[in-house]
Amino acid sequence: PQIKPGRKVRQLHFGGGTPNYLTPAQIDRFSKFIHSHFEFHDDAELSTELDPRTLTEEHIAAFRAMGINRASMGVQDVKPEVGEAVHRLQTDEQNRNALKWLRDAGITSCNLDLIYGLPKQTPEGFEETLHHILDYAPDRLAVFSYAHVPWIMPAQKILEAKDLPNAEAKLRMLEKIITILTDNGYHHLGMDHFASQDDPLTIAQKNGTLQRNFQGYSTHGGVEICAFGMSSISQTARSYRQNFKDVTDYGQAVTAGHYPIDRGILLTDEDVLRRDIIMSIMCQLHLDYAAKSEQHGIDVKTHFADSLASLEPMQADGLLELNQDNLDITPQGRLFIRNIAMAFDAYLQDGAPTKGKFSKTV
């Protein structure tokens, strides 16, 4: 499918790896190519992922000239023993320099990515990492659960599974994450994401307009995602398409003048309905039965009677509240929001085994 001329870009995300692997000259070349083919809204969000270990001021100047106004950096953990265990040595000086350069260049919205559940991590050590990160004063934080899936990610085979924290330790880390960050003024959007109180994402959630897509939480709804590059996923209102994951397959398709699409799916009306229900739970932490019934022309309580009934044990555990009109996620339930949303996922209700296919939710 071709992109019609005249359509303006509202968001651009430059990632899927580390764009500052490129030289500043290559970034400038890419920028000129993008801006020669696409027109951007005046208030468009242009973001990039960065690796502080190889970042330079020249990189940031090139990104700023491109129009980048948001940045996300991977930190994972600040403990040296964890960095050694995952073969990622990254210093405090590198982190601080990167943030200073970004802010001096006018890129004032900065997100930091942390990971809990890595080899050699402990709840006590990760608590120290969190307090250290707070001194960086990021605008947003994404604290992801490490998923050990070497059958999908062969690079993980070098990590020692015996050094991984157990489920109880990971849960303690997650509890510390939420407690420490919210006690220090961050708003818990849900799942892995936190933002400052004046961040657009926080404001959007409080206004009931927060959205979610493959790039995470967003303030923009109803946008189509056009993805370029290996393994990237495009999204329209009723379809998803994924490009080839293998560089040879991708290169051959492009060289032959074909779209490098490996697979795709057209959504049914039921898929669209369930996606909307799941997005409401994940983004608004709330499900209004009457509003969704009117929107989709069905009786939500009847249609999802089995799903709602399956959530009753979670209600007994204080993770959510089910009443006559609504489903509401409690503060404690934000820890398990993926598990709650899974009750409405038809593709997880067919009895198919998931071991060796999906990672754990916490």
Gap between the Cα atoms of 295 and 272, Å rounded: 12
What pLDDT does 159 receive? 72
The verdict on pTM exceeding 0.85 is yes
HEC profile of 205-261: HHHCCCEEECCEEECCCCCCECCCCCCCEEEECCEEEEECCCHHHHHHHHHCCCCCE
Indicate the helix (H) or strand (E) that contains 328: strand 326-329
Query: Is 19 exposed, middle or buried (CB count within 10 Å of its CB: 0-12, 13-18, 19+)?
Result: buried
Gap between the Cα atoms of 59 and 57, Å rounded: 5
What pLDDT does 282 receive? 94
- Identify which of 200, 204, 227 has the alpha carbon closest to the alpha carbon of residue 215: 227
Gap between the Cα atoms of 57 and 78, Å rounded: 22
What pLDDT does 267 receive? 97
What pLDDT does 353 receive? 44
What pLDDT does 352 receive? 46
Q: CA angle, corner 15, sides to 178 and 129, nearest 5? A: 30
Report the chain's C-alpha Rg in angstroms: 21
Structure tokens at 182: 């919210």
Write the Ramachandran bin of 185: left for phi over 0, alpha for psi from -120 to 50, otherwise beta: left
- Quickly count: other Cβ atoms within 10 Å of residue 245's Cβ: 11
Length of the chain measured in residues? 362
What pLDDT does 330 receive? 94
Gap between the Cα atoms of 194 and 142, Å rounded: 6
Query: Is 57 exposed, middle or buried (CB count within 10 Å of its CB: 0-12, 13-18, 19+)?
Result: middle
From first to last of the 362 residues of the chain, give the pLDDT tens digit: 577 777 899 999 999 778 999 999 999 999 999 999 999 999 999 999 999 999 999 999 999 999 999 999 999 999 999 999 998 999 999 999 999 999 999 998 999 999 999 999 999 999 999 999 999 999 999 999 988 776 666 767 767 677 899 989 998 998 899 999 999 999 999 888 999 999 999 999 999 899 988 778 888 877 889 999 999 999 999 999 999 999 999 999 999 999 999 999 999 999 999 999 999 999 999 999 999 999 999 999 999 999 999 999 999 999 999 999 999 999 889 878 989 999 999 998 654 444 444 456 66
- Domains of the chain plus CATH, in order, are 8-218 (3.30.750.200), 233-266 (no CATH), 269-348 (1.10.10.920)
**Burial profile 81-97: b = 16 or more Cβ within 10 angstroms, e = fewer:** ebbebbebebeeebbee
Q: CA angle, corner 230, sides to 159 and 250, nearest 5? A: 120
What pLDDT does 351 receive? 46
